[in-house]
Structure 1
Amino acid sequence: MSATPAWPPKSAPRLFVETRLEAGLHLPVEGQQAHYLGKVMRIAPGDAVMLCDDLTGEWVARVAEVGKRAVILEVERRTRPREDVPDFWLCAALLKKPNFDLVLEKATELGTGRVVPVVTRRCVADKLNPERARTIMIEAAEQCARTALPGLGEATRLDHLLRNWPRERVLFFADENGGMPVAEAFAAHKGAAAVLVGPEGGFDEAERAAIRAHPAAVAIALGPRILRGETAAIAGIALWMGLNGDWKP
């Protein structure tokens, strides 16, 4: 006798939706999400779709109907509660579009709680399309099976960021000129935290001095090499998650 296939299957497509989910809900999915389910994933009535609402967690739904413009899903049960997101922010200077896209994607996959784009004097970009950025983060969250989305702050100038910084949150400053060894710094400062990384050309001397003078700032060294902005962001998040975040057993 053959074994009963696992339900829901691990291959079931995943979507974030704006509707608060509950058992028995009939949810119409339209637009790009309907196209993805119907044309890309080629789902059929009876198939499973995993849903998250960024409020209650992860739910399994069954496809009730596949139409030309909409897919109707019937929500069955919750499979996981919304994850506890570590209180960790990434404050990343804006980079060239493909590089910052990578930062948004990997920050989401690594479990960051909030991303704050920062404008500095040496930034090659000074604007961010929030809708596009949000789409990148949602797609990354769906891919890595997160049940919560990171927050996304407005692009803000460095001086404004420092002036309005919450004093209870430590600001780890990835300084290419060196600082406290990263593992030592993270071990010494628990609780709410953020890491600040610079643009392609780095921070200028006035910016570096202003950051170091801030009472919440702790300059850190991310190893013996000078890292690209996107590499520094990914490395900083990964190290914090391993030492202070939700990667620990």
Structure 2
Amino acid sequence: MADAKIRLYVDHPLAGGQSVPLTEDQARYLFAVMRLQPGALVLLFNGRDGEWLAEVAETGKRGGRLVCQSQTRPLQAPPDLWLVFAPVKKARTDFIVEKAVELGVARILPVQTQFTNSERLRADRQQAHAVEAAEQCGATFVPEVVELQPLDRLLAGWSADRRILWCNEAKAGVATALAGQPAGPWAILIGPEGGFSDRERAKLAALPQVVEASLGPRILRAETAALAALTLWQAALGDWK
């Protein structure tokens, strides 16, 4: 395993002796860029079957084949935690998605609010970014990035048993707000740079699932708020305890 320095996400079942075909892009990366030869070792994961050590069996310009040898780690699924956030500028949205994968979330849900500055977000691009983050940080699970949707629509279909940690600067700190709260299904809600509108605030405050909390005395940028909230929730109710 010491020679396996490359981790690769594949959309294919993984098991002992399993043959794994490569896409053209994957083959180009492994054989043209990294210059792997038959017999080289690669770590594979698919978000379902854990991490596997695989050997290069066939190489080609437009494809190739790996064969799984042994499982190196089982699937490590994150807590049932969603991140709901209003997209910001491209590089900062990329940062939010990347750090959400590293810190451990089960689902990423971009939402359009009244004051959201970025009106477009390609879910397929952010999903690819989530895969890349998982490859780099050693994660065996890749959260789904859903299509951008209006906040009102998301809240209209919200499950009664999933609590929402709403990062609201007007309330008590997160540690106090989460004290005594149960684990289970949760979501963290991060607003846009301009904050939520009065109508959105009233709607959120009326939801029985909502737990309001401040992230401290300083005003945080959206990506910093997401990072801080995820960290504090994981320490209090997640798998960091």
Q: Which amino acid aligns with 1:188?
A: G
In the aligned structure 2, how far is the partner of 1:140 from the partner of 1:211? 31
Q: Which residue of 2 aligns with 1:84?
A: 77
Q: Which amino acid aligns with 1:85?
A: P
Q: Which residue of 2 aligns with 1:143?
A: 136
Aligned mate of 2:221, from 228, 233, 236? 228
In the aligned structure 1, how far is the partner of 2:229 from the partner of 2:53? 34
Which segment is superposed worse, 152-161 or 165-174? 152-161
Aligned mate of 2:109, from 91, 116, 119? 116
Asked if 1:209 corresponds to 2:225, the answer is no
Which segment is superposed worse, 230-239 or 183-192? 183-192
Deviation at 1:234, TM superposition (A): 1.0
Deviation at 1:10, TM superposition (A): 6.6
Which segment is superposed worse, 37-46 or 79-88? 37-46
Aligned mate of 2:233, from 240, 244, 249? 240
Q: Which amino acid aligns with 1:224?
A: P
Q: Which residue of 1 aligns with 2:177?
A: 185
Q: Which residue of 2 aligns with 1:22?
A: 15
Deviation at 1:11, TM superposition (A): 5.2
Q: Which amino acid aligns with 2:211?
A: V
Aligned residues: CA RMSD: 1.4
Mapping of 1:168-179 within 5 angstroms? Answer: 168-176=161-169, 178-179=170-171
Write out the 4+ residue segments of structure 1 that deviate beyond 4 Å after TM superposition: none
- TM-score in terms of structure 2 length: 0.94
In the aligned structure 1, how far is the partner of 2:202 from the partner of 2:218? 21
In the aligned structure 2, how far is the partner of 1:84 from the partner of 1:101? 22
* Unpaired runs of at least 5, structure 2: none
Deviation at 1:187, TM superposition (A): 2.5
Aligned positions, number = 240
In the aligned structure 2, how far is the partner of 1:48 from the partner of 1:11? 5
Q: Which amino acid aligns with 1:180?
A: A
Contact 2:16 2:69 in 1 (8 A): yes
- TM-score in terms of structure 1 length: 0.91
Contact 1:50 1:60 in 2 (8 A): yes
Mapping of 1:3-152 within 5 angstroms? Answer: 8-9=1-2, 12-152=5-145
For residue 142 of structure 1, give the secondary structure of its aligned residue in structure 2. helix
Deviation at 1:9, TM superposition (A): 1.6
Contact 2:3 2:41 in 1 (8 A): no
For residue 91 of structure 2, give the secondary structure of its aligned residue in structure 1. helix
**Identity over aligned pairs, percent:** 43
* Unpaired runs of at least 5, structure 1: 1-7
Asked if 1:199 corresponds to 2:192, the answer is yes
In the aligned structure 1, how far is the partner of 2:231 from the partner of 2:160? 24
Deviation at 1:152, TM superposition (A): 2.0
Q: Which amino acid aligns with 2:179?
A: A
Contact 1:108 1:149 in 2 (8 A): yes
In the aligned structure 2, how far is the partner of 1:32 from the partner of 1:124? 34
Contact 1:86 1:245 in 2 (8 A): yes
Q: Which residue of 2 aligns with 1:4?
A: none
Which segment is superposed worse, 152-161 or 110-119? 152-161
Deviation at 1:65, TM superposition (A): 2.5
